[in-house]
Amino acid sequence: MTSGPAFSAGATIEVTDVSKWFGQKVAVSDLSCSFGPGLTGLLGPNGAGKTTLLRMVCGLLRPSDGAITVLGVDPREDPSVYRNMALVPEEDAVYGILTAREFVAFAADLTGVPRERVAEAIETVDLTSAADRAISGFSKGMRQRAKVAAALVTDPQVLILDEPLNGTDPVQRAHLITVFRRLAAAGKTVIVSSHVLSEVERMADRVLAVVDGRLAAAGDVAAIRRAMADIPYRVRIDVGDTRRIASALMSEDVVGSVRVVGGRLHVETTDLATLGTLVPRIAKDTDARLTGFEPEDESLESVFRYLVHRK
């Protein structure tokens, strides 16, 4: 077994040198990692290749190169693995004509599990009150929960969730995160993909960050945070007397560079928090009026790109 932060002890899913391309577009490039019991967050901006990777793990896409095994078998060759594996896809893959209860029962029938589990799965995602309504009338969040219930009813050893919190409200989100954490604690392999760092941070013990189809970082959440600690941030500051403020900022250690463009300051810093307290103080000391302090580019995408380029 390969070692390193991208690899998990007691792996149930092994991804070895996997690439996937669609025509000229490379979606996943020479990616190796593994997943084991516990909750792993798959983090990355939209279009990073997370969904492609998860669909390959599930056997819905064939890798252009490399190999994937789930519970020791290639899922494309042996559908029996789906007895112990479930996917909650990102898209609305639900039957609108069915009620939530019928939908979950359909999943149970197809997987060969007793229907007695249906009510419990629906209860787990807190959908009991709407269980006998047609899914076509559901909100996005309710559909997500119906999909999660259809996955849970099979009691899978490996549960893969592609952006499962999309469209859910904060209460539903907190509830689903609790459910996922409980499954992970019970020894299931749970993979949750997301493009929202704070979301993953709340639930995952381990994170794999994917950007442009490549593994950008891996490890526990603290390690990812540390990797991101020295990322330079750019901040736009609207303040009076820009030249005096600029020269005052230049003498500060946390400030990398300062430019004055169109009556605004554009500051680069490695410590956003310190700059956030520094600027109001300098403005007050110089009697300048501070009207704006706005990070220019702190999207997750830019953070990940930084990590990739640094690698």
- Positions in the binding site for other proteins (CB under 8 A): 55, 58-62, 76, 79-83, 85-87, 89, 91-95, 97-98, 106-107, 109-112, 150
Residues 105-112: contacts with CB within 8 Å, 24+ apart?
106/150, 107/150, 107/151, 107/153, 107/154, 108/153, 108/154, 111/82, 111/83, 111/153, 111/154, 112/83
CB of residue 146 vs other proteins: minimum separation in angstroms? 11
Name residues whose C-beta falls within 8 Å of residue 22's C-beta, 6 or more positions apart in sequence. Answer: none
Degrees to nearest 5, angle at CA 19 with 16 and 24: 175
C-alpha span between 31 and 15 (Å, rounded): 7
CB of residue 89 vs other proteins: minimum separation in angstroms? 6
CB of residue 191 vs other proteins: minimum separation in angstroms? 14
Toward other proteins, which CB reaches closer, 47 or 240?
Answer: 47
Reading the block at residue 74, the tokens are: 């290639």
Toward other proteins, which CB reaches closer, 61 or 282?
Answer: 61
Toward other proteins, which CB reaches closer, 34 or 51?
Answer: 51
Toward other proteins, which CB reaches closer, 213 or 275?
Answer: 213
C-alpha span between 187 and 9 (Å, rounded): 13
Toward other proteins, which CB reaches closer, 61 or 221?
Answer: 61
CB of residue 122 vs other proteins: minimum separation in angstroms? 17
CB of residue 17 vs other proteins: minimum separation in angstroms? 19
Contact call for residues 293 and 266 (beta carbons, < 8 A): no
